[in-house]
Amino acid sequence: MTQVVLVRHGATEWSRTGRHTGRTDVPLEEPGRDAARRLGPALAGWTFASTVTSPLSRAAETAALAGFGGATRDPRLQEWHYGTAEGRTTVDMRATDPSWSVWTSPMVEGETIEEVAARVDEVVEELRQAAGPVLVFAHGHLLRILAARWLGLDPHWGRALLLDPATISLLGTDRGTAVIERWNAPISAP
């Protein structure tokens, strides 16, 4: 089994304001672009067998600004389709359903967490077979589910893995057991 470096895309207006950003192609804000550029030096010591990104611009631009513009775009790495929760905050959703959570509530007109996990499971299987370290640029909830599935856990465990924009996480193995080696590591300021 190989190591997998996960990078959440840089900040967008919607990530900054807590809006659920699934399939809406919201661009990076300038601070998100600056952070993406700083990812390059933080990843400079690695040699990757492959680099993949979500096709959404916020992830693909983060990859390009970090120096990985040739990353393969994989539609399975798109963020969770939130349906009617798209563009809304948790506070907005809880105005009509006080117990609403992206992790436990139905995504009306969107994907179930099981559907997200099914496409992530395909990616995880490919990552496990990679010839060397793989670099993945994607989205907060998607990467949290991917990490849970890497560990063999129910996708709902992703709720316990906070992931900030423009952070680096590392999945690997220890004596044959899938592990998280590093999680939500910030890049240094300029």
Domain ranges of the chain: 4-184
150-155 long-range contacts (CB < 8 A, ≥24 apart) are: 150/4, 150/124, 150/178, 150/180, 151/178, 151/179, 151/180, 152/178, 155/113, 155/114, 155/116, 155/117, 155/120
Which amino acids are annotated catalytic? 9, 79
Q: What is the mean pLDDT of the chain?
A: 96
List CB contacts of 163: < 8 A, sequence separation 6 or more.
8, 140, 143, 144, 169, 183, 184
With bands split at pLDDT 50, 70 and 90, how would you rate the model's confidence at 44?
A: very high
- Give residue-wise pLDDT tens across range 16-38: 999 999 999 999 999 999 999 99
With bands split at pLDDT 50, 70 and 90, how would you rate the model's confidence at 188?
A: confident
- Give residue-wise pLDDT tens across range 114-152: 999 999 999 999 999 999 999 999 999 999 999 999 999
What architecture (CATH level 2) is domain 4-184? 3-Layer(aba) Sandwich (3.40)
pLDDT reported for residue 142? 98
Average the pLDDT over 156-174 and give the result: 97
Residue 9: Cβ within 10 Å count: 31
pLDDT reported for residue 190? 53
List CB contacts of 19: < 8 A, sequence separation 6 or more.
13, 87, 88, 89
Angle between helices 57-65 and 30-43 (to 10 degrees): 50
